[in-house]
Amino acid sequence: MPTAVKACPHLPPADLEMSWRTLAPHRSERGASLYPLALAYAQTLWLRGLSARSLLALDRAFYADLDGSEPVLRQWPLPYRAMIWIVRHNPPGLFIGNPRVHFQHLADRVRGERQEQKCWRAWACWRLIREIQPHLPGDPRHTVTEPDEAAIFRHLQAYGHPGEATYWRSVLDDERPSGIN
């Protein structure tokens, strides 16, 4: 039985009837209809005690093909805060893997449409994890140059939604101890 957790306030309500089958029809259409489903599925997995899988569902949401103008983004912005919340509130002993390594590898391995956008969103998540879980080790065998905060910001400005880089920076700033920038 999963450990009792409270719902993530940065995600829509769970639908406990959801399964991977709910998202399967969206393999080819990855736009505005996929995004809220991926967020709700992340919440559902989180409440089932499947933290690592919940982060994978957030990956699907981050990679939905949106241009930034969709109304759903006003209610449910890109899930940077949700990702942090889940990592921070993961109960001891509940498997979540190493999110730092997850995003490090993801950033280096994304392919296909909007590759640059996907890559820099993964690096943005990686940087947030570094801020909130600085003790997590990176993968020493994964030889890739890790970008600094300024590079992530610049690339989110270039490849993200309008205002995404500023939003990401505000999330990052909210996670820093007071007075540290």
Does this model's pTM top 0.85? My answer is yes
Average pLDDT value over all residues in the chain: 90
What lies within 8 Å, CB to CB, of 52 at 6+ separation is 95, 96, 97
Q: Is the pLDDT of residue 138 over 80?
A: yes
Listed residue (45, 37, 43) closest to 11, CA to CA: 43
pLDDT, residue 6, reads: 93
Q: What are all long-range contacts of 142-145, with beta carbons under 8 Å and residues at least 24 apart?
A: 142/101, 142/104, 142/105, 142/108, 144/104, 144/107, 144/108
CA atoms within 13 A on the CB side of 119: 17
pLDDT, residue 15, reads: 83
Return the structure tokens found at 68.
């930034």
Question: What's the length of the chain?
Answer: 181
Q: Mean pLDDT across the stretch 131-136?
A: 94
Q: Mean pLDDT across the stretch 74-95?
A: 95
What are the sequence ranges of the domains in the chain?
11-96, 98-181
Q: Is the pLDDT of residue 180 over 80?
A: no
